[in-house]
């Protein structure tokens, strides 16, 4: 049964947080990106090509999000679900769980992505800002969701100045026993 959703932009540390939660509590998890990658693979497309398809055909995104909503609302949902919109879905479906948003500045996200993937920092910053703008526009067009509106989240963490262990401690404290 779903206990926590973890959301945030790429480079915010959501995957690291999910790993720490699952290891510490022996919980299972689902990353919405895994659903995306599996669908791309099933269609014989690279992630980049599938992403381009999603931008052209919004019904593909709607179908993937419907699948995620179905999973998180089922009784055999993993305890932890990570995706950009899973907190919104849990809120809209009135699911009783902790909904976490990890907030990180554009510069910090670019620094983290640069450290993880290499390349030029300024290129990572430009890519990160563009991806964020594209995603925000798509979510508004698809669902009327403004990603700057954090009201669905009951725990918002500014992770610019704290490390992954501190983010984990804050979430763990909120989850309790």
In this predicted model, what pLDDT tens digit does every residue of 49-107 receive, in sequence order?
A: 888 888 888 898 899 999 999 999 999 999 999 999 999 999 999 999 999 999 999 99
Which residue in the block uniquely carries the two structure tokens 């939660």? 21
* Structural domain count of the chain: 1
Alpha carbon distances (Å) from 150 to 42, 140, 147, 153: 33, 14, 7, 6
Instruction: List all residues 6 or more positions away from 54 whose beta carbon is below 8 Å from its beta carbon.
Output: 60, 61, 64, 138
Q: What is the pLDDT of residue 51?
A: 81
The radius of gyration of the chain from alpha carbons, rounded to an integer in Å, stands at 16
Residue 116 lies in a domain: no
Indicate whether 131 pLDDT > 90. no
Residue 134 lies in a domain: no
d(C-alpha 62, C-alpha 28), whole Å: 25
Question: What CATH number should be reported for the domain holding residue 91?
Answer: 3.40.50.300
Alpha carbon distances (Å) from 58 to 6, 63, 71, 143: 24, 9, 20, 11
Residue 128 lies in a domain: no
Q: Which of 27-31, 50-54, 128-132 has the highest mean pLDDT?
A: 27-31
Residue 174 lies in a domain: no
Closest among 28, 34, 35, 33 to 3, alpha carbons compared: 28
CB 88 within 8 A of CB 75: no
Q: What is the pLDDT of residue 117?
A: 85
Q: Which residues pair with 81 in a beta bridge?
A: 5, 30
Indicate whether 163 pLDDT > 90. yes
Domain coverage including residue 10: 4-104+151-169
Q: pLDDT higher for 175 or 134?
A: 175
Residue 157 lies in a domain: yes
d(C-alpha 89, C-alpha 73), whole Å: 9
d(C-alpha 13, C-alpha 125), whole Å: 16
Q: Where are the beta strands (DSSP E) in 19-154?
A: 29-31, 80-82, 98-103
CB 159 within 8 A of CB 16: no
């Amino acid at each position: 049964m779903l206990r926590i959703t973890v959301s945030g932009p790429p480079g915010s540390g959501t995957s690291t947080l999910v790993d720490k939660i699952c290891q510490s509590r022996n919980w299972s998890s689902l990353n919405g990106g895994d659903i995306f990658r599996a669908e791309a693979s099933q269609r014989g497309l690279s992630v980049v090509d599938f992403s381009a398809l999603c931008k052209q055909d919004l019904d593909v995104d709607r179908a993937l999000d419907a699948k995620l909503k179905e999973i998180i609302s089922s009784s055999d949902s993993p305890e932890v679900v990570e995706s950009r919109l899973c907190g919104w879905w849990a809120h809209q479906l009135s699911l009783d769980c902790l909904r976490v948003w990890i907030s990180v500045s554009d510069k910090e996200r670019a620094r983290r992505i640069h450290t993880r993937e290499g390349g030029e920092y300024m290129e990572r910053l430009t890519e990160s800002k563009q991806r964020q703008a594209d995603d925000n526009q798509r979510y508004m067009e698809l669902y009327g969701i403004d990603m700057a509106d954090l009201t669905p989240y009951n725990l918002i963490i500014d992770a610019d100045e704290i490390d992954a262990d501190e983010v984990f401690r804050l979430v763990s404290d909120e989850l309790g026993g």
